[in-house]
């Protein structure tokens, strides 16, 4: 075979064809699986898709809701989409939601339980809400300080009134709404049972058996506690009145005060110390004692500046251990686009580089995607560091590293000639730099998928590629709807047959296609559920790549969705109402 450079092949003129718009794959469950994208699908649309899927197959839909949240296995790690689905379930199937809460926590984390409760009470959080009460004013910092100093007593009174109002909201809802009461009791029972068990394990010296309930249980007087009164509910379950004579003849207020204090002093504080949570060491200013190997990937990224500031030598020592193989940097909850976005914004550091390398090696782990290639395209949003664009780039890079020669380290962009680009460099920053110009050039370019296949075929012929080295699967990654503007070419079964005929005429099998939506608020689908040699996925998670690692058998969108929710972790889910 010719040198790999020959794989760049001759230019091919782009063809423009009309795109047949398909509003549904024909399977409402598959529409839910494909059309929900983090940050792009509003809660109302999640509810619409969920209603259609539930009417079709409630149990499969319940699995898909959990798959939306799952941070491990083959899940999407779409937290906001999951919360929107949970609120819909509370409105339409509250008993099923309550019955599966404990299982839900295994797909995400225990923090999801108080968060769902909070949102049922107070509605979705608006993390990007602007403060419109005070327009920009050059004197604003000074005026703010003056306002803070005017009347501390008035501020304290306002806080007390707000807390009383929040408490009344919880109590009124609990008394009047049986569905909310069921959900509330289930959340409180779950935390109380876990914490009681964890205390027993701690006393027996069985620290490895301790759950993360103490980490995610609301702290006393935290925002969660004030908005839900969960600490009191949990404390009452762990320390009921009948558990001690001292509680028998005191008022409800005094009893609540005592058990809340015991929850903090005897349960949360000692358990959090055993768990070696970074926040415990940070609060106590014991930076040099931080066990960095136990710091989660999200916390590592969130606190990295604080770690560097207070314990630079400790961080350096930990990274040395990672480089020499004596320690591992956590990557379980890390998402590829987060690392790429940081690198594009100049915030990449050695820890992030080691996380990227660990991510690639963990996914590979003796398995490969085979002969695959990614086709990456960006919309005209102008900021590749934002999640959709960063996700297209990150997943494209990840796929290129997991592929096999001669396609390893190559991607195709959405420009008019569908050029193959060699990814160069040893570090993530260097690799991104080698793709900067091609990606800028293809912003808003229309994907001509027919031309992509023609390009792959011409490259294979020009390079004298053996049959067993032909691209087996093409991943199409974009934050645009694939039929946007009528520039696509994946029009019908006839076109599939045309592509297949072209490849077979040259002695090759036509590649399969994975349509991967990383940002478009999809209201259409490129193919139907039973379409052979095609798949539909969406989202930012690296876990979805696992669906295609050394995959054998017939590829259809329905089959891939079924594989995604086939793990044993889904067996305990049950539909109650």
Task: Note the pLDDT tens digit of each residue in 504-542.
Answer: 999 999 999 998 988 766 567 888 898 888 999 999 998
Residue with more model confidence, 552 or 313: 313
Compute CA 361 distance to the chain's CA centroid, rounded to the nearest angstrom: 20
Q: Delimit the domains of the chain by residue range.
A: 4-23+369-570, 41-125+163-280, 291-357
Q: Is the dihedral of CA 458, 461, 462, 465 positive or negative?
A: positive
Radius of gyration, CA atoms only, the chain: 27
pLDDT level of residue 377 (50, 70, 90 thresholds): confident
SS3 of 413, please? strand
Q: Which residue has the tokens 């995400």?
A: 108
Round the average pLDDT of the chain to a whole number and report it: 83
Q: Could you tell me which of 428, 435, 407 has the C-alpha nearest to residue 357?
A: 428
pLDDT at residue 276 greater than cutoff 90: no
pLDDT (tens digit, 9 = 90+) per residue, 333-342?
778 888 888 8
CA distance 11 to 415: 11
CA distance 219 to 174: 21
Pairing of strands 420-422, 473-478: unpaired
Q: Which residue has the tokens 């550091």?
A: 349
| Average pLDDT value for residue range 147-160 | 72
pLDDT (tens digit, 9 = 90+) per residue, 402-444?
998 889 999 988 766 677 888 999 999 998 888 877 666 555 5
Class of domain 4-23+369-570: alpha beta
pLDDT at residue 111 greater than cutoff 90: yes
């Amino acid at each position: 075979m010719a040198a790999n450079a020959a794989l760049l092949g001759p230019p091919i003129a782009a063809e423009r064809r009309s795109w047949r718009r398909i509003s549904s794959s024909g399977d409402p469950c598959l529409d839910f699986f494909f059309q929900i994208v983090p940050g792009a699908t509003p809660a109302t649309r999640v509810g619409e898709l969920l209603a259609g899927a539930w009417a079709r197959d409630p149990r499969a839909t319940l699995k898909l809701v959990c798959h939306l949240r799952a941070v491990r296995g083959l899940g999407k790690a779409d937290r906001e989409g999951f919360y929107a689905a949970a609120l819909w379930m509370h409105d339409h199937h509250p008993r099923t939601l309550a019955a599966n809460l404990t299982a839900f926590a295994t797909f995400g984390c225990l923090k999801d339980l108080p968060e769902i409760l909070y949102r049922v009470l107070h509605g979705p959080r608006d993390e990007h809400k602007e403060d419109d009460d005070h327009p920009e004013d050059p004197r604003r910092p000074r005026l703010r300080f003056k306002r803070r100093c005017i009347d501390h007593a008035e501020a304290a009174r306002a806080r007390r009134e707000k807390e009383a109002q929040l408490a009344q909201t919880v109590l009124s809802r609990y008394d009047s709404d049986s569905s909310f009461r069921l959900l509330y009791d289930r959340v409180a029972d779950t935390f109380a049972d876990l914490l009681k068990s964890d205390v027993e394990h701690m006393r027996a010296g069985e620290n490895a058996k301790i759950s993360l309930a103490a980490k995610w249980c609301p702290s006393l007087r935290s925002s969660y506690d004030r908005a839900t009164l969960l600490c009191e509910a949990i404390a009452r379950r762990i320390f009921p009145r009948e558990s001690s004579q001292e509680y028998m003849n005191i008022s409800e207020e005094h009893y609540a005060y005592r058990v809340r204090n015991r929850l903090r002093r005897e349960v949360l504080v000692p358990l959090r110390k055993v768990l070696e949570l970074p926040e415990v060491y940070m609060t106590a200013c014991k930076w040099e004692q931080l066990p960095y190997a136990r710091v989660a990937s999200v916390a590592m990224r969130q606190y990295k500046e604080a770690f560097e500031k207070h314990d630079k030598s400790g961080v350096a020592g930990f990274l040395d251990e990672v480089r020499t193989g004596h320690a591992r940097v956590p990557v379980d909850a890390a998402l590829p686009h987060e690392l790429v976005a940081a690198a594009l914004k100049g915030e990449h550091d050695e820890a992030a580089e080691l996380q990227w390398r660990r991510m690639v090696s963990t996914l590979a782990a003796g398995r490969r995607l085979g002969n695959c290639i990614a086709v990456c395209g960006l919309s005209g949003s102008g900021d590749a560091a934002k999640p959709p664009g960063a996700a297209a780039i990150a997943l494209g890079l990840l796929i290129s590293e997991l592929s096999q020669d001669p396609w390893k380290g190559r991607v195709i962009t959405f420009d008019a000639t569908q050029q193959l680009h060699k990814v160069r460099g040893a570090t993530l920053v260097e690799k991104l730099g080698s793709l900067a110009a091609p990606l800028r050039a293809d912003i808003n370019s229309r994907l001509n998928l027919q031309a992509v296949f023609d390009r792959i075929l011409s490259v294979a012929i020009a390079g004298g590629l053996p049959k067993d080295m032909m691209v087996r699967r093409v991943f199409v990654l974009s934050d645009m709807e694939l039929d946007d503007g009528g520039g696509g070419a994946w029009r019908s079964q006839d076109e599939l047959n045309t592509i297949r005929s072209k490849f077979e005429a040259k002695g090759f099998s036509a590649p399969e296609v994975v349509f991967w939506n990383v940002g478009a608020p999809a209201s259409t689908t490129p193919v139907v559920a039973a379409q052979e040699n095609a798949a539909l996925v969406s989202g930012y998670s690296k876990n979805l790549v696992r669906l295609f690692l050394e995959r054998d058998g017939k590829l259809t969108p329905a089959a891939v969705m079924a594989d995604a929710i086939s793990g044993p972790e889904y067996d305990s889910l049950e539909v109650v109402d």
